Amino acid sequence: EVQLLESGGNLVQPGGSLRLSCTASGFTFSHYAMNWVRQAPGKGLEWVSTISTTGGSTYYADSVKGRFTISRDNSRNTLSLSINNLRPEDTARYYCVKDGLRYCSGDCHFDYWGQGTLVTVSS
């Protein structure tokens, strides 16, 4: 059974930093690109970032480029998102999401989603 377990969400002041983690199990982690998607309270879904199977290629939404860094450790089946210079508009639940097919090159839907971790940016 595929499981994605996020952690690291917290209440942070504007300008602060956080590191989100996602531990994956139930599939061959290194065969799938991975993604972060966020959802502000009461709002829709927003794609945040994607990382290739090896970690050699990363992609970011314009709204987070330069502040967020996605990474992965295939030996530990973990996905991470480092967030700097947090803004109130970054307040959201952050979901760790698996690509729907192996070895996709930016042309895959998403299949499994974690339950998310909540990031709140407020003074």
Question: Shortest distance, CB of residue 59 to another protein, whole angstroms?
Answer: 5
How far from each other are the two terminal CA atoms of the chain, in whole angstroms? 40
92 vs 102: CA distance, rounded Å: 28
> Which parts of 37-56 interact with another protein (CB under 8 A)?
44-47, 50
67 vs 69: CA distance, rounded Å: 7
Which pair of tokens denotes residue 54?
A: 């090896």
Among 65, 100, 103, 122, which residue sits at the site for another protein (rule: CB under 8 A)? 100
Bridge partners, residue 63, by sequence: none
57 vs 80: CA distance, rounded Å: 14
Interface characters, 70-99, with another protein (x: CB under 8 A): -------------------------x----
Among 35, 80, 91, 117, which residue sits at the site for another protein (rule: CB under 8 A)? 35
Binding site for another protein (CB under 8 A): 35, 44-47, 50, 59, 62, 95, 100, 105-111, 113-116
